[in-house]
Amino acid sequence: MLSIWFLMNLLFQDDKTEQDVVTEQVTVEFVLLDVLAVTRKGVPVTDLTLSDFEVREGRQKVDITLFEKLDLRAPLEGDFTPTPIDTEKLSTTGVTRRQVQQLVLAVDLFEQPVTEAARTFDQLDKFVNSLDSALAYSIDVRSLEYGSYTEGFTTNRRMVREALSKMRDQYLKDTVYVDEGETLLGGLSRRERQRNNNPRRRSSPLADLEYELRNCVSVRIPQVCMDNFIADFLDRQYMRSLRALGEMTAMAQSFKQDGLKTILLVSPGFSSDSIDAVYQLRDHILRTGRNENVSSNQRVNAMPSLGGRSRGLFNSSEMRDRKREFTDACLQNRVIVHAFDIYNRLDQHKRGTSAEFGGVSQATRDIYSNYNNQISSGLFEAAEDTGGSFTQSFGLTTPMTKAVDRGRYYYLFGYTSPDGKKGRWRNLKVKCKRKGVRLQYRAGYYSK
- Note the pLDDT of residue 441: 96
Beta strands 60-61; 64-71: pairing state = unpaired
What does the angle CA 34 – CA 35 – CA 38 come to, to the nearest 5 degrees?
145
Secondary element (H or E) of residue 206: helix 205-215
Alpha helices by DSSP H, listed for 338-448, are 344-353, 362-375, 377-386, 397-406
pLDDT mean across residues, the chain = 80
Q: Domain coordinates of the chain in residue numbers?
A: 2-72+409-446, 101-405
Strand partners, 200: none
Strand partners, 413: 33, 67
- Note the pLDDT of residue 130: 94
Dist. CA 185–CA 182, nearest whole Å: 8
Beta strands 444-446; 137-143: pairing state = unpaired
Name the residue among 105, 144, 101, 145 with its Cα closest to residue 123: 105
Name the residue among 431, 440, 424 with its Cα closest to residue 29: 424
Q: How confident is the model at residue 79 (pLDDT cuts 50, 70, 90)?
A: low
What does the angle CA 226 – CA 379 – CA 386 come to, to the nearest 5 degrees?
150
261-266, strands of its sheet edge to edge: 147-148, 137-143, 101-107, 261-266, 335-341, 390-392
Cβ–Cβ under 8 Å, residues 60 and 418 = yes
Cβ–Cβ under 8 Å, residues 412 and 70 = yes
Beta strands 101-107; 137-143: pairing state = parallel
CB atoms < 10 A from the CB of 235, how many? 11
Chosen CATH of 2-72+409-446 out of 1.10.3470, 2.60.40, 1.10.238, 2.60.120: 2.60.40
Examine the pLDDT at 78 and tell me if it is beyond 70. no
Lowest mean pLDDT among 180-184, 428-432, 442-446: 180-184
Examine the pLDDT at 187 and tell me if it is beyond 80. no
Alpha helices by DSSP H, listed for 302-361, are 311-314, 317-332, 344-353
Four-CA torsion 364, 370, 373, 374, nearest 10 degrees? -120
Per-residue pLDDT of 95-119, as tens digits, reads: 788 888 999 999 998 778 888 889 9
Task: Characterize 69-104 residue by residue with b for buried, 16 or more Cβ atoms within 10 angstroms of its Cβ, and e for exposed.
Answer: bbbbbbeeeeebebeebeeeebeeebeebebbbbbb
Per-residue pLDDT of 392-426, as tens digits, reads: 998 999 999 999 999 999 999 999 988 777 778 99
- Note the pLDDT of residue 152: 93
